[in-house]
Amino acid sequence: MRKDLFGGNGQVLVWNLLQGKAAPPFTAVLSCELAESGRVGRHVQEEFDEIVVGLTGYGEIRVDGKAQAFGPGAVAYLPLGSTLELVNEATDQPLRYLIIKAAGEAKDSP
């Protein structure tokens, strides 16, 4: 359980579905549940490219500040360096989603 993730509010339950097992090119598959009226604050994808897939509930996802509806079947791609925010707009149910992390291209050194 994580609380007020990235300056957001509410709790997020997170399960690592790979449980530390290797599954290249994926580094993690996380099942997440954002509490009713919860929010995951804006943060930068610093380590891996990610795909976020909506499972149940409804809300809004913001990628690089651009908002779109988020719910069952919605998919958002977050390349390295992009920002993400999630909002659960429901007051009576959690927002469930998957985060799939994959190793991205190595960044060039400055």
Domains and CATH numbers, the chain: 2-102 (2.60.120.10)
| Whole-number pLDDT of residue 108 | 46
Asked if residue 106 has pLDDT above 50, the reply is: no
Q: Mean of the per-residue pLDDT values for the chain?
A: 92
pLDDT tens-place string over residues 25-82:
999 999 999 999 999 999 999 899 999 999 999 999 999 999 999 999 999 999 999 9
Residues 6+ apart with CB under 8 A from 101: 26, 27, 28, 29, 30, 47, 48, 49, 50
Neighbours of 34 (CB within 10 A): 25
| Whole-number pLDDT of residue 104 | 60
Predicted confidence band of residue 103 (pLDDT cuts 50, 70, 90): confident
Task: Tell me which amino acid residue 109 is.
Answer: S
